[in-house]
Structure 1
């Protein structure tokens, strides 16, 4: 495919063949929301607020038991979540650039902003203006299970659940638990260690419980230079060693007219670079390219402290009080190569000579250039140049990201009578983020210091020429901060209509409720970042915004069952949300589903869900910054053609004088010089306050098989189809101009009204009020496929370690076949669709394999459990045209993990394991004399300049640590 829009701007066998998955990954066997309502065996399942005995629901639910986290040696929950086939990895511990020290979950590749994260069935904290949850804040050691619900769940949980819901269920603790884990790669680096503890006690005959917990976690960094496959920046065609054209020696550009955008340093010569200090020579590639890869982080360092607790006390059947508290301090650093800086300035030849910065040969070249200039610039002792330098002497660019998160929940629940119960709670969370950026440079100070005097002049003429005092002239430490908070007040009533039931089924059940949420977020850059006077990390504009929403919701479940066991169930849910955002206002979300079990062994199910997502604070209110993208104004005429018809009317409505439309002043430049003086148009980039809600339609159809003649076996298959319309997306300025003027031709449409900049008297877009290029509700995203799951547990009639004569065998498999993963940048243009199923690259981003599975086989012989996990990704192809591919294909990928766990006694458990048992890693590149890669490139070697990945691979998808060992101990008393 050749489409160059990027989806990432949003913005990705048989049972025996994989008869092994997370032993505890059981789709229809587990409960969901907080295990709160356990009266007479009733539980609440994620995806519904109605308590029921039957844990099967119309919506598919995959459940990951806590044992999977311990068996895989995982401390951060992202490492297990990203192995699930429903998930396309988001930001992880390997996301250095881009990356912000967080870990997110991205269901179905629809984006982290469209995936709702819950803890105990309630919203968790988010960390920035995009309202995304950082998985680093979830206490892995307290997990009871994780429920993953497919499809929109806005009718039950509200906005954001377009792709689905991930619900982390935390357990209560009885007694004291202390644990620890240590991990280390085979190469002896990347150490990770965790210490955790929890104490809990029930009281008042079990009517109350208090649990307190704490954790310390530390992860050491690994640099790209520590692995042979990531030590070089790769790119180009053929694939070869490449790098940056801004070297530590300083590179100059100049042409004979003093135009710094020219292509040569002097007439008829190559670009110039300084070799030995003060000595000028020709610039050559690839010899003089700077290899920035080795000093970038491969694994980010992390340090985390976590404290929290929860408590409940049942005063009577009618009143139980509960609370949850959590505080997390999390620091994750990222590190890039030293700052590259590019400035247009002049060089004062006499000053450079007086300070001894250049040698005689270079002085002679400079004076020849000065003499070749014309007019007042001739022989004035100055030459205009473009300076390009890598500021190695200032050290690497380091981003110190520290987040402090706090959350409190307090509520009451109870039984009103035998048929009705209530639950009401208030939740508040706030995250403060401090972001310190080291290694930045002030562009203005650097430019001034090139030709300064005395101690303020810097020597840029050669590698290592900048002294510490010189570096202090321009080096700056920038800082920004985020403050984000959410408040939720919710109350619900659930129960049955007395004993009224259809046949032998449970009574008809319902739930109704109200909810109010207030969301606010603020991004605060310092003076350097806000002004744009910074090189190193990107500048940013202040962002601040808030909104609130008031909601009413309801659910109804109507079961029917015959005496013979045939069961039929219909359920529905609806939610009305009234947003304070004028562009959203009141919106509806709703869902309906059916289940049919003709015999107890077989259940058919189907569900439809309409979900909504309101735009977040960042999408609405992000601060603006001006840029100058290249584009052609349709009103200026293309190739001399004069606009007519609808285009002419749109140009007139936009304020272009009739006499100037299509006026051709200079045929050589193919545009109107009055309406568009040059090839770039001043444009503001930022949020769009005119955004409306996104909507999605989800369909799932499935079957659950639990054959009574094979006890312990459950097989499920579910087809899913999710379409997100009016998806918020940012496209190029040229695309917006073409859409608004040539296609829609209505500047008051939702797509165009925010873009509509003010033109000057001649009809040109002016800088006083330029067009705005923010997100717009213009895209469509669709995914479809089949989720497959099988779980089997049985006993084997022999044992080596116990007298029981039996051993337990658990086999599980969870896989997804992705049929489509499509992105239409302009939903009104069905011919322009990006297809990403089975692809990767600059357009599609993270690989989306057509088939992904994770499987596990566990053998328990008394106190000893031996477990093997198999993870598989099918092959993926580059998303560009074959002629453009540097790496056309990444072959199928398999990892095997092994874990042993031993219960020393009832209180002490020890475990050890090896992840990536066979040390499957990206292939080390081999080079010929010209620096070209000569080995097979279909082995996770991807050109940096082609596919937009990190470390010459996709480290969030493919393992980059190699064989990795872990050991853990857990003690209960």
Structure 2
């Protein structure tokens, strides 16, 4: 849910911004005759800090006031940022923390450290923010809009640059955080040593950090302790607690909230030619008693399995960071600089025990069953197809569902080791020409160990049993080769009945490996050219070339690679690389200053990129801007940028993997009754759905539909256009007041994604809008349906639809950012006020460019809020500082209110038919205080979410834990204390 901005540029020598002030930073008059510096978003050094790109700056003080031990704790609270994966991303999640600027994707946000590309961690070429040393940050620059002309691919939504500070002496610090429930402890300890070299000719900074975060399970919080779905509430609670629906209705199905206690559920199957009576319809699920034997139809809410308590709410983490950076003037005017970083980061995820669903021939005479169950299975056996000699063979082919409590929870431990080294030279060519060249190499290796998986083939072998020759009670696995491999019959027909030997046989541990590499070399020349003679600075330029090579590979375990796994998603090996050669140039033209107007300036940039990818080839990116100040107090600015994102290794070379996305098959009974038209029925029949099952639960027995996903080497680059326009107001009659307002409009065309935007989108488009089996969007489902009941996906007896990477549609977002910064002396101290807010005008994600646009579609169902802000008020006097922050998230609504179509006509959805049509606003209040005990020792303490505001509960629209844990505060009231020593 959201985004943000502030407009500012870093000020020389620690002075506040000229165009806009920094986050939580006092404002001082601009330094006169400041040295030329490089502002994020350009390679041209300039003595003035006015720029046409809106730039926001987060100061180092903000991390201290928030008690942050990781970068995400500050960055993800900015109104410009919609959190990606975070420390609360358990499922889905991969142990990384990603940055999603403007809510248009982490792959479209370029992350820099000290103005240079940082290392990425996976085949999607995304930066893990866990690898950045938070305690050494001097500031963070957030530039809105495409900057590919300056930095190359991926800078679509903008660029975020983390600036690290140089040290002189020894600095050590520690931070400890704990929730008011006494759990989720986080602590971090770091030390850094900095020193000047060679009589001031250089400086080196070395650092080390250890961070530890303890887990919190979903069962530790009321809002997440019970898995809630639409139409059900937390048992024993009131509707006001969960804000979801009404008590369990009669006829609730197993797909609503799972199955309780680990009992088996089974659905007898029909014949290959059509449904047979009660069994073939697939609407009756039978469930075994906990102790085994007797069975009955599943229709009791008490049968629901509550999987929530076994899932992490906050993931555990252990991290080691080591590194050094520095520079040295090797000769007059020539400086060598270098950076070295190493990180070892271990993050675990934990899910409830594996839910399994397979089809297996069950021995009707098995001692695992009582007479009533045998009668059900015998009737099903008699109704089976006459072919293959299956009729009357004593076996009933049956779908079996079981929650493997006896195998323990599913655990996934991500151990990520990464290093990056960089070396370069910079210096003077002449008095007004400078050069800069560097080479960097980074590699990230990730080892993922998964436990709690179940082998599908072994499980079927263990279910398919026969009597030991000469016995009518003892069983063995029916397949001789499986017996030779250690197969043991498994009794899953009741809780806790499976033997330890049988569980050991079916349970598998998988180890998956991933490695990513980035090679980057850049050389540039910059300086001044001439002066236009109208009082302004010289015309300045930058020109250079760049080379990048990106390589990644993913090596899954043999069980995941073969698809023979239940518990975690299967995946195929992925491997690939490509490179790009580029030339770029920038021009900054100060036209006039202090003439008939105060200032007028222009800028332009362009880059040509030659990719080794045949589908991309060569591409141009460019930008141009203007800033004009009629008087000194007011500046108007505008910028246009064309940017690109080249496909990454995952887009291009991803091996085929199996996923289980949530989707609604329009041919089932899961859609709205109003959508079940005669035209849709006819199309469902033509698509292979039997007449007897159209618009029934048999077509889609589960809320998820199994499908296969993979990359495509024919994917082309994305292109984006960004326009920003704003005003900077610094009234001379109100000293220290800075106000900025900027409009942004970002549109991305040819967006890379899965075909038709995914399974859910494709089903809706094909069956509700297109209704043409020859259309590419519909053809993906042709031949994929189970002929007996029309269901899609292997788990339901059909085949998996194939979804590959493709250029699928477009994105657009627009809005206004406002920032106000003011400080004034009060009672021998200083009172500072900072406001940063974003109003979102438009957010559209159109998965296919030829269909009606869908507004406000993001993760889950609910759209981004229209308005967000951060407000901080700080008072400092002498060695003491007190601060309060107000974070506000506006309410939003279920996007289905707008995004339901009948053909091309928007018909929407009546809010009364939705379980959670509207989500209210949320307010967070944070307090902090600091005290400098002496010049060597300082203390900080505070509480975040002072009033313990609870996250919004979203039911089936939730990402996990019944909410959006990466967006809302799920910890509750949270305390921190930190100390810093300087020597």
- The TM-score range, normalised by the shorter chain, is 0.7 to 0.9
Match of 1:900 in 2: 929
1:147 to 116, 128, 141: 141
- C-alpha RMSD over aligned residues: 3.8
For 2:616, the equivalent position in structure 1 comes to 584
Superposed, 1:409-808 pairs within 5 Å as: 409-452=422-465, 453-454=475-476, 456-497=488-529, 500-563=531-594, 566-625=598-657, 685-730=709-754, 731=756, 732=758, 735=762, 773-796=803-826, 798=827, 806-808=828-830
Query: 2:551, 2:878 → 1: CA distance?
Result: 53
Task: Say whether the 8 Å CA contact 1:265–1:272 is kept in structure 2.
Answer: no
Taking the aligned partners of 2:781 and 2:267, their CA distance within structure 1 comes to 38
Gap regions ≥5 residues in structure 1: 1-6, 16-22, 32-37, 633-637, 643-661, 672-680, 760-766, 799-805, 923-939
Structure 2: distance between partners of 1:374 and 1:80 = 62
Distance 1:736 1:442, change over 3 A: closer
Deviations 1:205-226 (A, max 9, x none): 2211111001000000000000
Deviation at 1:379, TM superposition (A): 4.8
Residue 545 of structure 1 and its aligned partner are, at CA, apart by: 1.0
SS at match of 1:530: helix
- Aligned residue for 1:818? 840
- Shift in Å, 1:316: 2.8
Flag the 1:277–1:271 CA change in 2: closer, same or farther, 3 A. Answer: closer
- By how many angstroms is 1:363 displaced? 5.0
Contact 1:754–1:772, Cα closer than 8 Å, also in 2: no
CA contact (8 A) 2:771 2:778 kept: no
Q: Report whether the alignment pairs 1:119 with 2:133.
A: no
Q: Please name the residue that 1:926 is paired with.
A: none
After the TM superposition, which residues 149-548 of structure 1 pair with which residues of structure 2 at under 5 Å, given as runs?
149-237=143-231, 238-240=245-247, 242-245=256-259, 248-254=262-268, 264=279, 271-350=286-365, 352-353=366-367, 357-359=368-370, 362-363=373-374, 366=377, 377=390, 379-452=392-465, 453-454=475-476, 456-497=488-529, 500-548=531-579
Aligned partners of 2:260 and 2:302 also within 8 Å = no
Q: Distance in 2 between matches of 1:746 and 1:446?
A: 37
Pair 1:864–1:232, CA change in 2 (3 A): same
> Contact 1:340–1:389 at 8 Å: present in 2 too?
yes
From the superposition, tell whether residues 639 and 866 of structure 1 become closer, same or farther in structure 2 (CA, over 3 Å).
Answer: closer
| Matched position secondary structure for 1:287 | helix
2: CA distance, partners of 1:666 / 1:445: 31
| Residues 1:706 and 1:737: Cα distance change in structure 2 (over 3 Å) | closer
Alignment match of 1:842 (pick from 839, 857, 860): 860
- The separation in 2 between residues aligned to 1:269 and 1:203, in whole angstroms, is 78
Report if the CA contact (8 A) 2:773-2:782 is conserved. Answer: no
Matched, 1:28 2:16: no
| 1:887 corresponds to 2:911 | no
Structure 1 CA distance, aligned partners of 2:609 and 2:402?
A: 54
Quick one: distance in 2 between partners of 1:670 and 1:349?
27
Q: Deviations over 1:114-138 (max 9, x none)?
A: 0100000000011111111111111
What is the CA deviation profile of residues 291-335 of structure 1, one whole-angstrom value per residue up to 9, with x for unaligned ones?
111111100111100000002101234310000000011111111
CA contact (8 A) 1:872 1:894 kept: yes
Note the C-alpha offset of 1:284. Answer: 2.1
The CA distance in 2 between the partners of 1:966 and 1:286, in whole Å, is: 42
Q: If the length of structure 2 is used for normalisation, what is the TM-score?
A: 0.82
Q: 1:24·1:64 contact (CA, 8 Å) conserved in 2?
A: no
Identify the match of residue 880 of structure 2 among 864, 873, 876: 864
Find the counterpart in structure 2 of residue 650 from structure 1.
none
Q: 1:744 to 1:53 in 2, by over 3 A?
A: farther
Deviation at 1:951, TM superposition (A): 1.1
Distance 1:27 1:899, change over 3 A: farther
The alpha carbon displacement at 1:519 in A equals: 0.5
CA distance in 2, matches of 1:720, 1:266: 54
Shift of 1:666: 11
Q: Any conservation in 1 of the 2:590–2:602 contact (CA below 8 Å)?
A: yes
Q: 2:64 aligns to what SS in structure 1?
A: helix
CA distance in 2, matches of 1:144, 1:129: 30
Count of residues in Structure 1 that have an aligned counterpart in Structure 2:
871
Q: Distance in 2 between matches of 1:360 and 1:598?
A: 92
Contact between 2:762 and 2:778, CA under 8 Å: does it hold in 1? Answer: no
Q: Equivalent residue for 1:935?
A: none
CA shift digits 1:38-67 (9 cap, x unpaired): 996111000011001111210000000010
Residue 233 of structure 1 contacts residue 952 of structure 1 at CA under 8 Å; is this kept in 2? yes
CA positional deviation for 1:957: 1.4
Shift of 1:145: 0.2
CA contact (8 A) 2:267 2:282 kept: no
Gaps of 5+ in 2: 7-14, 24-31, 232-244, 249-255, 466-474, 477-486, 668-678, 695-704, 785-793, 897-908
**For residues 111-164 of structure 1, what are the alpha-carbon distances to aligned partners after superposition, in whole Å with 9 as ceiling and x for unaligned?**
000010000000001111111111111100000000000100000000001100
Give the Cα separation in 2 of the matches to 1:958 and 1:568: 44
Deviation at 1:502, TM superposition (A): 3.2
Question: So what's the TM-score if we normalise by structure 1?
Answer: 0.83
**CA offset digits 1:658-682 (Å, max 9, x no partner):** xxxx9999996999xxxxxxxxx99
Q: Is the Cα contact below 8 Å between 2:599 and 2:630 reproduced in 1?
A: yes
